Amino acid sequence: MSAPLRALTAAAAVLVAATACQQPALAEQAYRAPEAAVRAVEPAGRRTAVFAGGCFWGMEAVFSHLNGVTSVVSGYAGGSRAQADYETVSSGTTRHAEAIRVTYDPTVIRYDQLLQVFFGVASDPTQLNRQEPDVGTQYRNALFPLDREQARVAAGYIAQLRRLDPWKRPIVTRVEPGQAFFPAESYHQDFALKNPDHGYIRRWDAPKVAALQRTFPQFWKSSFTPG
């Protein structure tokens, strides 16, 4: 693990942060996840959703290219405010997962459609406490419903995917309602936008963004929505 980030300058912290996402690897194959049988019924106005699926750089990069998404913020979910900092979460000893908070317009893209992207492109729901090449509970695959409707839709969609069994492996995605979200340090925000030539971004996250465009063209937008 890297040296304590509190002791580093912001510029040096970015370099150290690269080790947290470990070594570059190829993105998993995209899956054209089906439309949800249980659709979200959401009131007009901006809504938020929280997802965890490995290193938050890649999750942020994918969801920032969706029509109807107005903000994506990298952060931590599942643990306490006192432990919501990069150094502590990276130790793997907290309940936190690296996560993103997505703000979206449900008249353009619904919560169940965000789930299509989450399961189809953004993460592999069959990897327990990891998203290759990142290992640890902080990289677990998890949904953090913010209300009963999101919890209902999430449960329905996971059940639907389990019936289809497209991966031929068990889905291990956790549903963890009632957890607070805490934004990550500023140098993690919009990381793929600011560092497109970073080795990890090019080898791991850029393929996911390309897969999003190819697999879900109906949701795709070319511009990156900053947090």
The catalytic residue positions are 55
Q: Report yes or no: 18 and 198 within 8 Å, Cβ to Cβ.
A: yes
Report phi then psi at 23, rounded to 5. Answer: -90, 145
Q: Report yes or no: 48 and 227 within 8 Å, Cβ to Cβ.
A: no
Amino acid in position 176: E
Residue 25's CB is within 10 A of a number of other CB atoms, namely: 15
**How is residue 49 written in tokens?**
């959703």
Q: Report yes or no: 62 and 212 within 8 Å, Cβ to Cβ.
A: yes
Note the residue count of the chain.
227
Helix 56-63 / helix 206-215 crossing angle, nearest 10 deg: 30
C-alpha distances (whole Å) from 84 to each of 75, 138, 184, 185, 189 are 8, 11, 8, 10, 15
Q: Write the burial class of residue 167 (CB in 10 Å: 0-12 exposed, 13-18 middle, 19+ buried).
A: middle
The rounded distance, in Å, linking the Cα atoms of 67 and 90 is: 31
Residue 25, SS3 per DSSP: coil
Say what the alpha-carbon torsion angle 86, 52, 46, 145 is, to the nearest 10 degrees: -120
